[in-house]
Chain A
Amino acid sequence: QKEVEQDPGPLSVPEGAIVSLNCTYSNSAFQYFMWYRQYSRKGPELLMYTYSSGNKEDGRFTAQVDKSSKYISLFIRDSQPSDSATYLCAMSRNTGTASKLTFGTGTRLQVTL
């Protein structure tokens, strides 16, 4: 069993929809949770960074962590075609640049006009 599970999709939604992307994990030692966005033929870029349980909002994006259920989510409000990308969750035991990240395999999102 993988440490981090993520539905690969693809997930197709109309423009303006609310998108929910999710990951589950098995290692209770994970404390720091991230969402990366990866456009086609590009490297991942950090979108959201959260510590422990709770919510964090940044514009149209909300990251949610439920450590008791080992479940994290990324919500995108008013989705745009430019949001079409693969979204990777990542998590680590420690903070800082040297912390080893464990990534999900990514969910491909397509926002249609």
Chain B
Amino acid sequence: DAGVIQSPRHEVTEMGQEVTLRCKPISGHDYLFWYRQTMMRGLELLIYFNNNVPIDDSGMPEDRFSAKMPNASFSTLKIQPSEPRDSAVYFCASGSTLGPTNEKLFFGSGTQLSVL
């Protein structure tokens, strides 16, 4: 398996524009997480899904952020409208409740978002 795949790797946009980040989890994993990483706040959980259903979105900063998981192999995180304070690295991670590594999250390489 190629691991968790995120796109794009880098995104530069202007304030007010819509941004869509994409994630393909590892095949067979039933959990998917979206995290945001900044120097000041570290890694923060935004939302997670189990079997494509959003379970906890309490970390989503505000209504400008939305996430979907239409099927087991694809998820999006959308920011509309984007603001400079949204600049961060956004990570997608997947995990499985089955097998010996059920506590292990597998992270993608992240999307570096810059909002000017």
Number of A-B contacts (CB under 8 A): 62
Residues B58-103 near A (CB distance < 8 A): 91, 93, 95-97, 102-103
Interface of chain A, main secondary structure = loop
Interface size class, chain B = 20 to 34
Known: A43-B4, A43-B93. A99 touches B42 (CB 8 A): no
* B50 sits at the interface (CB 8 A): yes
**Given the contacts A43-B110, A97-B97, A105 and B41 also touching, CB distance less than 8 Å:** yes
CA of A90 to CA of B42 in the docked complex: distance in angstroms?
11
- A88, A96, A100, A106: the one within 8 Å of B56 (CB): A100
Contact A97 B55 (CB under 8 A): no
Are A105 and B95 in contact, with the CB atoms below 8 A? no
**With A44-B107, A97-B31, A97-B96 given, can you name 20 additional A-B contacts, CB distance below 8 Å?**
A34-B103, A41-B110, A42-B109, A43-B93, A43-B109, A44-B43, A45-B106, A45-B107, A49-B104, A95-B103, A97-B105, A98-B48, A98-B50, A99-B103, A100-B45, A101-B105, A103-B44, A104-B42, A105-B39, A105-B42
Question: Could you tell me which A residues sit within 8 Å of B by CB distance?
Answer: 6, 8, 32, 34, 41-46, 49, 88, 90, 95-101, 103-106
Jot down 7 A-B pairs with beta carbons below 8 A, ordered by A: A43-B4, A43-B107, A43-B108, A45-B106, A49-B104, A90-B43, A101-B43
* In the complex, the 6 A-B pairs of residues with the closest C-beta atoms, listed nearest first: A43-B107, A105-B42, A97-B95, A103-B43, A97-B31, A46-B104
